[in-house]
């Protein structure tokens, strides 16, 4: 958690300095759109009737067109959690703010590490069961629908604020905040 906090603090520091050094654009909304966006943030999930939790979120997005993207978000406090695969529709920017709508599917994953185990037999022989790791991933079991706003901080950095409803065997409501950075070559909107 400390490593995540330091990384987020570093990213915010870089974003703040970049915003201060960026000259305003001559045209409103003339921002660079990267092919790939990556980000991290915090998600608050409330499972109706069961309680809620805060969890860290890591996300990546591939921008297919100016207003259409395919995304993957991983909500995980550790070795198990949820993943969210979705389509994202983004509106034209109004100043530095754009609205977005998402829809997709939600699944679960788990990874487990088993330590090495040694068993000594009465004959003196030692049986060694080697350490190993195994994982489990489910196909999407719930539908997700959501939306929110994207604040354009610089031509490569955005802050996403949004919410989602997860509809499966029950209902969950998720509120997400993420700092997103565009990587790789880009193109202007």
> Model confidence over 20-68: pLDDT tens digits?
444 444 444 445 567 888 999 888 888 887 888 888 889 999 988 888 9
- 24: how many CB neighbours lie within 10 A of its CB? 7
The first and second tokens of residue 123, run together, are: 């004959």
Give the pLDDT confidence of 64-121 residue by residue, as tens digits: 888 899 999 988 877 888 899 999 999 988 888 999 999 999 998 898 888 998 999 9
- pLDDT at residue number 170: 79
- pLDDT at residue number 88: 94
> What Å distances lie between residue 126 and 113, 115, 119, 131, 133, CA to CA?
22, 16, 6, 15, 22
Domains of the chain: 35-184 (2.40.160.20)
> Which of 3, 96, 88, 108 has its CA nearest to residue 37?
88
Residue that has been written with the tokens 């000259």 in this structure: 23
Confidence of residue 185 (pLDDT cuts 50, 70, 90): low
Distance CA 172, CA 182 (A): 29
């Amino acid at each position: 958690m400390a490593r995540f906090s330091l990384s987020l603090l570093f990213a915010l520091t870089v974003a703040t300095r970049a915003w201060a050094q960026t000259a305003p654009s001559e045209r409103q909304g003339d921002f660079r759109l990267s092919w790939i966006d990556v980000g991290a943030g915090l998600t608050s999930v409330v499972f109706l009737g069961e309680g809620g939790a805060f969890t860290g979120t890591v996300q990546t997005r591939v921008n297919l067109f100016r207003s259409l993207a395919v995304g993957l978000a991983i909500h995980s406090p550790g070795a198990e959690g949820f993943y969210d695969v979705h389509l994202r529709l983004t509106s034209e920017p109004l100043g530095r703010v754009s609205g977005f709508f998402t829809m997709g599917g939600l699944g679960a994953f788990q990874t487990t590490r088993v330590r090495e185990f040694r068993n000594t037999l009465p004959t003196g022989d030692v049986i060694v069961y080697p350490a190993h790791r195994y994982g489990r991933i489910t196909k999407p079991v719930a539908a997700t629908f959501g939306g929110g706003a994207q604040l354009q901080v610089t031509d490569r950095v955005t802050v996403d604020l949004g919410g989602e409803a997860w509809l499966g065997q029950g209902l969950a409501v998720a509120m997400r905040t993420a700092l997103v950075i565009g990587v790789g070559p880009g193109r202007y909107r």
